[in-house]
Structure 1
Amino acid sequence: MIPPRLDELLRAIGPAGFEEEVAAMVSHVDGDGLLSLHKLGDLAPATLVDQRVDVRSRNGHVPDVGRPERRRGRGGHGRGSGTRGAGRSSRGVRPRARTRPGPHSLGSRA
């Protein structure tokens, strides 16, 4: 049996145990917007498959990266479009994310 105070503590920190931040640095953005990453710290690439990803630049959050369902109808690259890395996981997030051209693009230095 877990002591009551320890049980309360474990319940309070339990949900936070499932969230972790993984840092990676974009080392290259090719002409199609495919990102090449350089891992920072201990990161197993297999852990990125089927995970939600939030991409941030020095200017803030980069919208619609790794979310092909939001780009459909705007020239997006959904399944079967014949583009490299177009397969999606069961959650709709591709292991290889693409950036949108514009001021939020990680490739720009504006």
Structure 2
Amino acid sequence: MNNSEEKIEWEIAEKGLTAPRLTPASIDAVITDEHYWITPGTTLTICVLILRNGFTVTGESACASPENFDEELGRKIARKNAREKIWPLEGYLLRQRLHDA
């Protein structure tokens, strides 16, 4: 969970919002594995997150100046971008479960 997510979680708790919802922890819980590739000769980093049901999401990062390329930073940004794609998927599933209940 990043600082922005912590602030939002705190605000939700302060407002007493208790209906079913997604949390950063619930998003992290569906990730079962992750893989990274750096395209040779480029600054492109690709992250593949494998979810509990076998579905995959990808995230990418690249820098304009090769001199700024840092593998660790590229992986962090690519993972963050992949993780962001999980929210709408899990949101849809939660809404469907609420609808079917």
Larger strand proportion, structure 1 or 2?
2
TM-score computed with the length of structure 2 as normaliser: 0.27
Q: Normalized per residue, which structure has more helix?
A: 2
